[in-house]
Amino acid sequence: MIEQPTFATSPFFLGLSNTDRNAPFVIAGIPLDIGVTNRAGARSGPAAIRTASRMLAGNDHPHHWVSVDAMPIADIGDFAIALGDIPRSLALIEQQAAPLNHLLALGGEHGITLALLRALSKRLRSPLGLVHFDAHADTWDENFGQAYSHGSVFFHAINEGLVDPRRMIQIGIRSPLPRATYDWTVGKGVTILSAQDVHEIGIAATAERIHAVVGAQEPTYLSFDIDCLDPGCAPGTGTPEIGGLASFQAQALIRRLGGIDFVGMDLVEVAPAYDVSEITALAGATMVWEYLALRQANASG
């Protein structure tokens, strides 16, 4: 029960007051954005997502009929990063993520996912499955000379054995892309569903493909780049691409991912300086909330 109107709720995720790093579910912001190849500003994403999330607090989820507020979630604030230094920041992020139980990371740019996968992979001692919403495959071998930009995350994650590419599916892909990069990705075994594919085959078939690829038995990670959504729904991001998913599509997909053994998630690339009236931040907050509700529904289901 929320006693304050939305506008007076404390600016933590869902207005949470729990800050215990040992909580079963942990929200943390990771305000790194210096590996972004176009518009800057994802560093301000965590604060914006938290602020927007307050609208979702204090009621039940209208599909799963669970209360996310009732879950054992802590918001531990933002990770320390090394200002202006990608390698040191990735090391710091990995180190801070390692001891947490089940992390939901609020980016920041997509580059942070590499550090998070390294931490998880070390702990689980096996490659992860991956459900990856994005406009971009993020499997470039480098971008403009930078090996660890936000466009190379999954190139490294696959090469480092952090994810199992045969258990990896990308949804919403539509950016210009070198044919060689595409071929490398598919050649590794990754399944790619473009945004046009989703528009054509629909929600149910897309969800089936996700289940078919990642399975229910082994641990899987959810990485949600907000630019998988159409710029009309999510203008506040650094590398928008038109023709993306409507927010209802992404929401409906997450709702259908019950039974997958998710071990963590991130929501990345919200750049509030390019947002309008917080709609991108709200979309980001809602996707995290959908993930939590899915977990709660699975647990109680």
Q: Name which position in 13, 23, 49, 51 contacts its own copies (CB under 8 A).
A: 51
Judged by CB under 8 A, the number of residues near its own copies is 92
Question: Which pair of tokens denotes residue 140?
Answer: 């470039």
For its own copies, the closer of residues 92 and 263 by Cβ is 92
Interaction between residue 220 and its own copies (CB under 8 A): no
**Binding to its own copies by residue 182, rule CB under 8 A?**
yes
Region from 6-14, 98-106, 120-128, 211-219 binding its own copies, contact rule CB under 8 A: 6-14
Using CB under 8 A, pick the residue from 170, 206, 251, 296 that binds its own copies: 251
Q: Is 134 in the site for its own copies (CB under 8 A)?
A: no
Alpha helices, DSSP H, located in 98-176: 112-124, 153-159
33 binds its own copies (CB under 8 A): yes
**Mask for 59-88, x = binds its own copies (CB under 8 A):** xxxxx-x-----------xx-xxxxxxx--
Q: How far is residue 268's CA from residue 110's CA, in Å, rounded to a whole number?
A: 6
Neighbouring-strand partners of residue 146? 143
Choose one: 98-106, 121-129, 161-169, 276-284; the region binding its own copies (CB under 8 A): 276-284
Q: Distance between CA atoms of 238 and 157, rounded to whole angstroms? A: 22
Contact (CB, 8 A) for 269 and 237? yes
CB 118 within 8 A of CB 162: yes
Binding residue (CB under 8 A) for its own copies from 13, 23, 26, 35: 35
> For residue 113, what is the DSSP state?
H
Distance, CA of 155 to CA of 162 (rounded, Å):
10
Which residues within the stretch 255-274 sit at the binding site for its own copies (CB under 8 A)?
Answer: 273-274
| Two structure tokens written together for 275 | 């947002």
